[in-house]
Amino acid sequence: MLTVEGLRSRYGRIEVLHGLDLHVDSGEIVTVVGANGAGKTTLLRCLSGVQPVSGGKITFRGEALTTVPAYKRLSRGLAQSPEGRQIFTNLSVEENLRLGAFLYSDARVEKDMEDAFQMFPILREKRNLAAGGLSGGQQQMLAMARALMGRPSCLLLDEPSMGLAPIIVQQIFDVVSGLKALGVTVLLVEQNAFGALKIADRGYVMETGQITMQGAAAELIADPRIREAYLGI
Ligand code: ATP
């Protein structure tokens, strides 16, 4: 579904992605794990089109994506739930969700909103409140729900567990896991390697702008190098 070949990206003169290769097949949950600063966010920003690519190629559902502008990528089926959530704090929860559905004006928008409320019941309770008043975990739920309102076939998730209490992290990972049953393919970028690998089919390890290991998630969890470097075991 999504193929990345030789992807390079830079900030000014400094290259931070040095020729990445990865792929995500339809229906998979794939995670990219790696330490702070490895380049995970930059990778996702290249995929959603907000970060310039200086080399390589991105293909999505059989079509070249590399030069497609960011605002057109959602209509191709690719949505991002960004690092730091980036919700509209002055708007209500419901208004944030409606913005996620800006491409659509059909009756399915209401159904999608109902689905979002079923997925995250707390958002229904808070639907008329300003999003800025939500807790960190609730804001993360809203960011994910807003991305899903765009009806993506592939969801890019940037560090959904960041800064959240373990019980909320578990709740978020459970929802990500459940997206599979809804037919949404997921590329999940995480520093929480154990949590991410537990729900993923496959994983990539990223270090300083390069993929250094890849494999089935269960194999990566069992690998002594990963256990020592990323799982603290
Ligand atoms: P984090 O978990 O902290 O988000 P990450 O793996 O997502 O880390 P990136 O945020 O993609 O990593 O950063 C990769 C490298 O690019 C880092 O060395 C970072 O300092 C650098 N970098 C990120 N954003 C910028 C920017 N706007 N200008 C210059 N350098 C940047």
As for the ipTM of the complex, it is 0.93
Q: Which atom of ligand 1 is nearest to the CA of 41?
A: 7
Q: Which helix (H) or strand (E) holds 140?
A: helix 136-149
Reading the block at residue 5, the tokens are 């070949």
- pTM of the model as a whole: 0.93
Residue 230 pLDDT grade (very low, low, confident, very high; cuts 50, 70, 90):
confident
Q: Using CA positions, which residue lies closest to atom 4 of ligand 1?
A: 41
Question: Above 80 in pLDDT, residue 194?
Answer: yes
pLDDT digits (tens, 9 = 90+) for 140-177: 999 999 999 999 999 999 999 998 999 999 999 999 99
Query: What integer pLDDT is reported at residue 233 of this predicted model?
Result: 64
Q: Using CA positions, which residue lies closest to atom 9 of ligand 1?
A: 39
Reading the block at residue 135, the tokens are 């807790």
Report the alpha-carbon distance of residue 223 to residue 138 in Å, rounded: 34
Residue 27 pLDDT grade (very low, low, confident, very high; cuts 50, 70, 90):
very high
Beta carbon of 102 within 6 Å of any ligand 1 atom: no
Query: What integer pLDDT is reported at residue 35 of this predicted model?
Result: 87
Beta carbon of 150 within 6 Å of any ligand 1 atom: no
Query: What integer pLDDT is reported at residue 71 of this predicted model?
Result: 87
Beta-carbon neighbour count of residue 167 at 10 Å? 8
Reading the block at residue 52, the tokens are 């310039």
Reading the block at residue 139, the tokens are 């804001």
pLDDT digits (tens, 9 = 90+) for 35-81: 889 999 999 999 999 999 999 999 999 999 999 999 899 999 999 99
Query: What integer pLDDT is reported at residue 207 of this predicted model?
Result: 94
